[in-house]
A and B are shown apart, each in its own frame.
Chain A
Amino acid sequence: MRNQISKPRDLSLKGKIGAYVILTLFSLFAIYPILCVFSISIRPGDKLLSKSLAIIPDQATFISYYRLFTEQPFLKWMMNSIIISIAVTLIGVCLAATAGYSFSRFKFKGRQASLLAIITTQMFPVTMLLLPMFIMLIKLGLYDSYLGLIIAYSATALPFTIWQMKGFYDTIPYSLEEAAMIDGAGPVYSFWRIVLPLALPALAITALFSFMSAWSEYLVAAVLLQNQDLYTLPIGLKQFTSNMEVAWGLYSAAALLVSIPVVVLFLFLSRWLISGLTLGSIKG
């Protein structure tokens, strides 16, 4: 990396080779586990415990995927997860979009304190809220139900998403709203028709994080669900792993199917996440 010439972002030939080698090594580190999962998911049933390191196994087959849908309650788990995740997403987006706006635009008593309190909730160990929630839901008769789980999930992503929305609103100039208001638009109208459309990328990220907080959650669900008919995907997948010798292929196929949609969305939206994260943390 020495001997840099003129432009600070240029690298010498030696530096360039080094950079590619390092990036390639770390990229391999990043994708290797994913390749392994893929590899196991297409192994034939009698070769699950193979000692081969080949990514595409001999006699590759999609039998695990087929068995997942025909022999296992995979679709039921998926429906449960989808219902719960969508409910949590709707709640999360509405709350973060409005609260973030008010933290960005208004100065009011308790604003600073609320923002700090929101950060403080991140320091709670998971049991801190889960244990009282567990007892409360039992007493309310909501233990082991969709609604109980949705309540437990509703605030999980809020701290992050409120900060994320606030950071994004901060970058939208207030003059746009002023102009609309001079034209006679009310404050609610200008929020709804001017600010929200501009904040679509941040809304998409808020939706994604809210969705993922329910879609990918194991611990809370493991405590709050008993009934097999209500099992969500994480609980179902964990079950496969307790019997790894038999269900390795099923687990891998399911893991890929469950991850691919959220991974693709995440990669697609990560462009905005970057600006949101840094701006959100630097600016007040």
Chain B
Amino acid sequence: MIKSSEYSPHSRKLILLYTAPAMIVMALVVIYPFLYNIVLSFSNMNLTHFRDWSLKGFGNFRMVLADSTFWYFLWKTCLWTVLNLIFHVSIGVFLALILNKGIKGKSVYRILLILPWAVPQYITALTWRGMFNAEYGTINLLLERFLGLHVSWLSTEWGAFTACLITNIWLGFPFMMIVALGGLQSISDSYYEAAEIEGANSWQKFWGITMPLLKPVMVPAIILGVIWTFNNFNVVWLVSNGGEPSDTTHILVSWVYKAAFTYFRLGYAAAFSMIIFTILFIFSWRFIKSSRAVENIYG
């Protein structure tokens, strides 16, 4: 990092030159729609009031919060996020620990294990939907062949939820693995050698050295993971084909998408989006503050 004084004759112009293009685009396609969304959330806009809409105060917010389905899907979204993150982080860190050992062929394994991240998300979701097909899907064929089980994945509420969960675990663990691997590679061997001399066992080394040194790398990744998973629309929407069976397989984002673009309750959906954003915003900043990750991220 250099101080602006070193560039002084040009710096103001330069900063503007480099920053302005991105900021103008962000202002037009992110900030303006964001403000517009706030206005909409206080309006009665829907298909019958598309041009002649008017502001009507907090009605939409009250309507969302008074609806029991909101609380049900909030609970489901939290469950969805927590379960996903547990699997992503534990599988990711576990595989990274193994890959970080002196193993032959680890670059091949690394490539194989990173594949799910590389495949376009919508293809992953549509493919797994096919695999969960009760009659001809691979999952049930395997289960029947080897365990004699037949699961109706996509036609029951929790079957569909589990199907979405498995799909998302598949596509999400490589990210955590790569982040953890990067963190592990930056831990110097000398810590472990010192611990060895002190007579520490593997368990003590893991909790005493690996975990604390991995934490600054993992915390930002986990925060991002929570945000992405909480809002992960593609998997839930495409695996359950828009919330099947009968609009039970939703998380908050997919539910509000339905309200907006199937029922065109635009003001209501705008307020709903604001509520989702507020939940995530409060959570993220509390989490960042309590884990003191700010210093790590923002130096």
Contact of B260 among A124, A127, A273 (CB under 8 A): A127
In the docked arrangement, what's the CA distance between A134 and B257, Å?
Answer: 12
The minimal Cβ–Cβ distance linking B75 to chain A, given in whole angstroms, is 17
Q: Among the interface residues B18, B102, B115, B193, which one has the most CB atoms of the partner chain A within 10 A?
A: B18
Q: Report the Cα distance A132→B193, complex, angstroms.
A: 58
Q: Is the interface of B mostly helix, strand, loop or mixed?
A: helix
Q: A128-B274, A215-B120 are in contact. Are A187 and B10 (CB under 8 A)?
A: yes
CA distance A169 to B273 in the complex (A): 35
8 Å CB contacts to A: which residues of B186-206? 186, 189, 192-193, 196, 201-202
CB distance from A125 to the nearest CB of B (A): 4
Q: Is the interface of A mostly helix, strand, loop or mixed?
A: helix
* B167 CB, nearest partner CB in chain A, Å: 9
Distance of A34 Cα from B280 Cα, bound (Å): 33
Query: Within B258-299, which residues are at the interface with A (CB < 8 Å)?
Result: 260-261, 266, 269-270, 272-274, 276-277, 280-281, 284, 296-299
Give bound CA distance, A212 to B3, whole Å.
36
Of the candidate stretches B57-65, B130-138, B156-164, the one touching chain A is B130-138
- A264-284 CB mask vs B (1 if < 8 Å, else 0) is 001100100111011001111
Instruction: Knowing A4-B202, A284-B297 are in contact, say whether A187-B102 is a contact too (CB < 8 A).
Output: no
B261 and A11: CB pair below 8 A? no
A278 contacts B179, C-beta separation under 8 Å: yes
A58 within 8 Å of B (CB atoms):
no
Please determine whether B101 and A91 come into contact, CB atoms closer than 8 angstroms: no
Query: Taking the nearest CB of chain B, how far is it from the CB of A146, in angstroms?
Result: 15
Task: Please give me the residue from chain A that is nearest to B195 by CB atom.
Answer: A8
Counting CB contacts under 8 A, is A162 at the interface? yes
Number of A residues with CB within 8 Å of any CB on chain B: 105
Residues of A contacting B260 in the complex (Cβ-Cβ under 8 angstroms): 127, 130-131
How many B residues are at the interface, by size bracket?
35 or more
A219 x B115 contact (CB < 8 A): no
Check A270–B11 contact: CB distance below 8 A: no
Closest to A235 in B: B122
Chain A proximity of B48: nearest CB distance (Å): 15
Inter-chain contact A107/B114, CB cutoff 8 Å? no
Question: Distance in Å from the Cβ of A71 to the closest Cβ of chain B?
Answer: 20
Q: Which of these binds chain B: A62-70, A72-80, A196-204, A237-245?
A: A237-245
Contact B189 A9 (CB under 8 A): yes
- Mask: chain B, 126-148; 1 = CB below 8 Å from A; 0 = not: 11111101011010011001000
Kindly identify which residue among A30, A107, A131 contacts B115, using a CB–CB cutoff of 8 Å: A30
Check if B243 is an interface residue, CB within 8 A of chain A. no
Most buried by B among A10, A27, A283: A27
The reply to whether A123 and B280 contact each other, CB–CB distance below 8 Å, is yes
Tell me which residues across on chain B come within 8 A of A106, comparing CB atoms.
Answer: 2, 4, 7, 11, 14-15, 18
| Shortest distance between the CB of A266 and any CB in chain B (Å) | 4
Interface string of A94-136 (1 = CB under 8 A from B): 1110110111111110001011101011111111111111111
Please, could you name 13 A-B residue pairs with CB atoms under 8 Å apart, sorted by A? A20-B103, A23-B106, A23-B113, A37-B127, A123-B284, A125-B252, A125-B280, A127-B256, A187-B10, A212-B120, A218-B234, A237-B126, A282-B217
